């Protein structure tokens, strides 16, 4: 079996993961002292008031105009009400109570309305340089939804390619779905950055990798049509710089994590997962290849041909 040092054909590698067009719930960055209130106006508009401090002053932002996938982004009024007239932070009477929704990671504050809908603010460092990035801005993101949140399904196995000594690269695959349907965009750049409000990048970190100690960014890549599927090989990437060519991002602790922005204005979703281990097992590998094929459903789709075109 030959050694491969090129990225998977099915993989859209992003050199420096940029914010996708219409990051639907992004409010601000590097905030402190975040609080959340929400109400329904006399006109029947659901509005949240996010108060926080950044850049040396207090900010009061109204979020409104969307729930679940009714729109692809919330409307944001950074004037606290003067601009939109939808509500006024000075007379804002909170109607949101203790949070009773699903468990969310990177949660700062959340609450549940009398009608059972939820508001939540999550904060996480989404954008970091690929191939070992550690530092980035902490994003403050707000969600408004009712019912279930999106599902991020991740499995791991090995690539058919290895380092020439029989040590196979780790490989991950899965699907990103909402209400049983794939989440994916219609257009991306050549490096995999979404160009519409539907597209989503999956941001993957590894613990104690050959990039360095701690949790470091490995890569970011898009979920794909039609099932929201994705796949990625933890192997050297020729053509993306010396650091990418010399390292794999494989975790020495066999621990990985991934985060992705929620579809529409639903919450962001995170998964921690283990790699397949150090010893390549051809029986398990074929079982996982069959699983990957079943998730995608057609070998002509991206990531639908494991063991072949897709590693």
Q: What is the average pLDDT value for the chain, to the nearest integer? A: 91
E strand or H helix at 28, and its extent? strand 26-29
Assess if residue 262 is contained within a domain: no
What domain range includes position 97?
26-120
E strand or H helix at 121, and its extent? strand 118-124
E strand or H helix at 243, and its extent? helix 242-246
Assess if residue 88 is contained within a domain: yes
109: DSSP letter = E
Using CB atoms within 10 Å of the CB of residue 161, give its burial: 0 to 12 exposed, 13 to 18 middle, 19+ buried.
buried
Angle at 302 between CA 265 and CA 8, to 5 degrees: 110
Assess if residue 248 is contained within a domain: no
How much is the pLDDT for 193? Answer: 83
Full-model pTM:
0.90
User: Nearest-CA neighbor of 185 among 293, 261, 121?
Assistant: 261
Assess if residue 51 is contained within a domain: yes
Assess if residue 238 is contained within a domain: no
Measured CA to CA, the distance from residue 251 to residue 277 in angstroms comes to: 10
Positions of the chain with pLDDT under 70: 1-24
How much is the pLDDT for 311? Answer: 77
User: Nearest-CA neighbor of 11 among 191, 189, 156?
Assistant: 191
- Within 8 A by CB and 6+ apart from 94, the residues are 37, 38, 39, 49
- Within 8 A by CB and 6+ apart from 164, the residues are 3
Q: How many structural domains is the chain composed of?
A: 1
Assess if residue 132 is contained within a domain: no
How much is the pLDDT for 229? Answer: 97
| Contact assessment for residue 37 and residue 47, using Cβ atoms and an 8 Å cutoff | no
* 48-73: pLDDT as tens digits: 999 999 999 999 999 999 999 999 89
- Within 8 A by CB and 6+ apart from 200, the residues are 20, 176, 183, 184, 185, 194, 222, 223, 260, 261, 263
Beta bridge pairs of residue 75:
64
User: What phi and psi values does residue 93 have, to the nearest 5 degrees?
Assistant: -105, 110
Q: In what order do the strands lie in the sheet with 201-209?
A: 212-222, 201-209, 255-260, 269-274
Assess if residue 280 is contained within a domain: no
How much is the pLDDT for 305? Answer: 95
E strand or H helix at 52, and its extent? strand 46-54
How much is the pLDDT for 21? Answer: 34
Measured from the Cβ of residue 279, the count of other Cβ atoms closer than 10 Å reads 10
Measured from the Cβ of residue 189, the count of other Cβ atoms closer than 10 Å reads 13
CA 242 to chain centre: 26
């Amino acid at each position: 079996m030959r050694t491969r040092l090129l990225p998977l054909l099915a993989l859209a590698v992003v050199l420096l993961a940029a914010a996708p067009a219409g990051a639907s719930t992004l409010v601000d960055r590097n905030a402190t002292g975040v609080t959340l209130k929400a109400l329904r106006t006399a006109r029947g508009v659901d509005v949240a008031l996010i108060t926080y401090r950044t850049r040396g002053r207090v900010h009061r932002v109204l979020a409104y105009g969307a729930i679940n996938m009714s729109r692809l982004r919330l409307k944001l009024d950074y004037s606290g009400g003067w601009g939109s007239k939808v509500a006024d932070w000075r007379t804002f009477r909170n109607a949101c109570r203790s949070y009773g929704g699903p468990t969310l990671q990177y949660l700062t504050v959340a609450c549940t309305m009398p009608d059972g809908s939820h508001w939540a603010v999550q904060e996480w460092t989404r954008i970091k340089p690929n191939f070992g990035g550690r530092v980035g801005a902490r994003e403050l993101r707000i969600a408004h939804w009712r019912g279930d949140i999106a599902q991020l399904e991740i499995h791991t196995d090995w690539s058919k390619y290895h380092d020439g000594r029989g040590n196979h690269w780790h490989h991950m695959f899965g699907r990103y779905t909402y209400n049983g349907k794939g989440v994916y965009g219609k257009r991306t750049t050549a490096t995999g950055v979404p160009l519409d409000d539907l597209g989503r990048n999956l941001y993957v970190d590894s613990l104690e990798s050959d990039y360095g100690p701690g949790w470091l960014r490995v890569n970011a890549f898009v979920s794909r049509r039609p099932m929201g599927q994705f796949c990625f090989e933890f192997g050297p990437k020729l053509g993306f710089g010396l650091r990418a060519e010399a390292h794999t991002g494989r975790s020495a602790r066999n621990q990985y994590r991934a985060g992705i922005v929620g579809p529409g204005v639903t919450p962001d979703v995170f998964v921690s997962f283990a790699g397949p281990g150090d010893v390549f097992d051809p029986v398990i590998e074929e079982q996982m290849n069959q699983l990957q094929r079943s998730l995608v459903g057609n070998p002509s789709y991206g990531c639908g041909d494991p063991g072949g075109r897709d590693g």
